[in-house]
Structure 1
Amino acid sequence: MKKASFFAIAAIAAIALTGCTDSEAPEGDASGEASAPADLTPITVGVIPIADTAALYLGDSLGYFEEAGLDLTIETAESGAAIAPAVVSGDYQFGFSNNLSLLTANEKGLGLQSVSAAVATTGDTSADMGGIIVKGDSDISSVADLAGKTVSSNAVGNINQVVTRAAIDAAGGDSSTTEFVEVAFPDAIAAVENDQIDAAFVVEPFVTAAIEAGDKVISYAYAEFDPKLDIASYFTSNAYADANPEIVEAFQSAMQKSLEAAQSDSDAVREIIGTYTKNDAETLAKIVLPTYPTEINRDALQKLGDAAVEYGILTAAPDLDALLK
């Protein structure tokens, strides 16, 4: 990898997880604390600042949340596993997480429910929004070669680990010998380049950044697992949903409009991603955008849950009804 490319990737990684909030932050009162307009209900949503969450930012910019009576603040984190505790504690009213992490949380008794679809694979096994990358000169040429190797994800035990193991096994490798470690998406490319890990599961805009830097994708594992796979959803706690059904309904209404807008206007999505990741226009023009569905595909989620049981992430078949209320 050329030194110039390495520093370009490092710059992208350094800024991609910069904390973001609503572009029009509410003015503070005399005590310095932010306050929402009297006719709006304040909510905070925890997300990962990646292409997957573009619909939320887009809907905010289009005024859909204000139209629904909500004053939206967006906070960022590295993974859904970090967001879930903040939702349970009430620091956030809603959060974004991969669906397997939500199923795992419910198995542990956290009591979470999906309230909106968020993002799904494109189903294209030749160019998807998430994939497994290795160095361009790596002797790893197939996902089967990851047997006995070290692979990173933004969290251990999440959807990325399961679909990676499924891809390895489907290709004839033995995924039980693969070691999975946690590396945040913005740090994963450098970790691969520095030989700290053999491969990394990354999502856009980091897939394109890796390819531009000379790395290679050996598997688009989401699409290979199931062409209708929902990667993540927006969720809240059962306790919050029971106590605030009107707010949940308002959030769902705003999210449906936001997802429809994102799915229908790729140019707007690319532009909004640039406001919270600071990637350059050239990179944004090349990234593979995900699908922004308005409904979760239950069959694909069931398949994911079954695989999670097979690979020991879940101890028993998940209760999809509890998550998809």
Structure 2
Amino acid sequence: MRTSRRRPPVVPLLLCALAVLAARPDTQAAGPGSEAGVSAQVARLYREAAVATRQYEAGRREAVAQRAVARRAERLLHRERGQVAVLHADLGRIARAQYRTGGGLPLTAQLLLADGPDELMRGQRVFSQTDLAVSHAIGRSRRAEARLAAGEAKAEAARQAAEKQTARLTGLKKDIERKLEEARAELQGRADVQAAAGRCGGAVRLNQPRTRTRRAWVAPVERYELSAGFGRGGSRWAHRHTGQDFAVPIGTPVRAVGAGRVVKVSCGGAFGMEIVIRHSAGVYTQYAHLAAVAVEAGDKVPTGRWIAQSGTTGNSTGPHLHFEVRRTPEIDSVTNPVPWLARHGVKVR
């Protein structure tokens, strides 16, 4: 499915944000058993699922980066291990040299065995130098071993943190998606009843997103896959397909492509639940096969306003939005929506 190009939010805030989203009630919704309550719940969960998906992807990318850091640390640790092995070998050579040369003899024995003062002084100097070399070698070895232990602990902590974060994000995302699927099924069930009766249940005023577009025209849905195109033949249409279909899940918010006034809200028939909006210069847009409507006839809507939620009512074989552009409110005046949107700065593909 087509995805938004917006960048994901900062990852460190994601767990708190998701926890709040998962628990937060919709204060403007009606009771949970009402149609308004179900519709508002789907809209809220839709937003939360989008946030969860973006956060999950950001967390997954961060986990990949963490694992890369761990791999780099492992390579450094490999070099550290080699250095420790070299230092241990040096200590072994020094110890063997001391054993062969008598560097470990006590001072009393050296006094007794020395042939004279000069030989004794030379022996003391050799002993002092050897002792200093041993001390330095031991110190280097201990410091290298400490760095090795610290590096191993850091690499392991990075791996564990990455795996833990990914697991928590996956769990939160799946929980929200499960709730959303259950709510979508209930929303569509209620919509089917209304469409069969030919009577809409009234507008459900959805909480609108805070962002406001400055563009005059937008696509009718934010994320989608194009399915049946304009003019396409098939057994489901009397002649040719009169609009462009956008494949989206049930409950996806449907936007007014431009500012205008709602001239029709109806249920039943081939289009199921549908909305028609009149725009400037006598252009009309239609949004069909909906699961819920959020406007009433006569409402003025700005560009990008959530006017409905997608569904699969009417003559529909699966969840999608059927979108038309017309020169009159009626179906016999349709034009191809894709090039029309392109002329107004909206590319859909």
**Higher relative contact order, chain-length normalized (CA < 8 Å, sep 6+):** 1
TM-score if structure 1 supplies the norm length?
0.25
Higher alpha-carbon Rg = 2
Q: Which one has a larger percent strand, Structure 1 or Structure 2? A: 1
Q: Which one has a larger percent helix, Structure 1 or Structure 2? A: 2
